[in-house]
Amino acid sequence: MADDKYASAKPFDALSARSLAGKREYVRGLEERPEEERLSLLVECLCDESWYMRELAEGALNRCGESAVPALIPLLGQGLWYTRASAARVLGRLGSRRSIPQLLAMMDDANATVVDAAALALADVARRGGAAALARALYRLPAEAKQRDLAHMSGKDRSLGDRLATLLANAELMQLDIDEPPADDSPIVRQSEEGVEWEVLTGPPPVPAPKRDGGDGGTGSASGA
């Protein structure tokens, strides 16, 4: 049964519309509401038992952008499993670095679907410029939890796991004393990664060939070339 609070908030005509078209129309209507009301009702849609309604709400919340983040983060630690999973998916698509600690906490959830949703959301955040912020959050976890979560994400995306492992090995970046989770393109991250970025992306930098002695009459290049 749908969440009672949500059911009481919906107009009667929306409650009686069982078709997919009716649900689409209802969510489109919510997008026309003032921001505070729109966000509140879209968040309530994530409590609906209909997967299609939740999917529509996820898309609408994604279109709301950064303004939806404060309304979504509290859902990660409360409510039904599918509501938490929906909220995680949206935050991942929004690339919300602020949600990383709560998403990492979801990796301890007893529900496997929630754990997978959290891992995929964290991977999305990392791909959207939050890899350094994710690595810093992992760095602060107990060793066992850190290795478990890193292995889970590496299983979903090997290249992401390799990048996180490289970032975790960057002691300067991990121990920076900053309050906000940094973006990957911020000067503070780029400066701390200087000298390792080539290795992250392509493997170790090429080793220059040894110089030949000037008197060697072999196949070396002609003088002045």
pLDDT of residue 193: 73
Residue 51 Cα distances to 58, 71, 72, 74, angstroms: 10, 20, 18, 20
Q: Positive or negative, the Cα torsion across 152, 153, 155, 159?
A: negative
pLDDT of residue 195: 54
Residue 49 token pair: 């038992």
Distance CA 153, CA 155 (A): 5
Q: How many CA atoms lie within 13 A of 64 on its CB side?
A: 31
Note down pLDDT in tens along the chain; length 225 residues. 444 444 444 544 444 445 888 899 999 999 999 999 999 999 999 999 999 999 999 999 999 999 999 999 999 998 899 999 999 999 999 999 999 999 999 999 999 999 999 999 999 999 999 999 999 999 999 999 999 999 988 888 899 999 999 999 999 899 988 888 999 999 988 887 765 544 444 444 444 455 555 444 444 443 343
Distance CA 176, CA 114 (A): 31
Distance CA 159, CA 112 (A): 23
Distance CA 83, CA 36 (A): 19
Question: Are 218 and 212 within 8 A, CB to CB?
Answer: yes
Domain boundaries, the chain: 1-71, 95-201
Question: Are 87 and 69 within 8 A, CB to CB?
Answer: no
Q: Give which of 79, 105, 74 is closest to 90, Cα–Cα.
A: 74
pLDDT of residue 215: 46
Instruction: State the pTM of this model.
Output: 0.76
Distance CA 115, CA 62 (A): 21
Best CATH choice for the domain 1-71 from the list 1.25.10, 3.40.1620, 1.10.1660, 3.30.43: 1.25.10
Residue 191's SS3 state is: helix
pLDDT of residue 196: 53
pLDDT of residue 154: 86
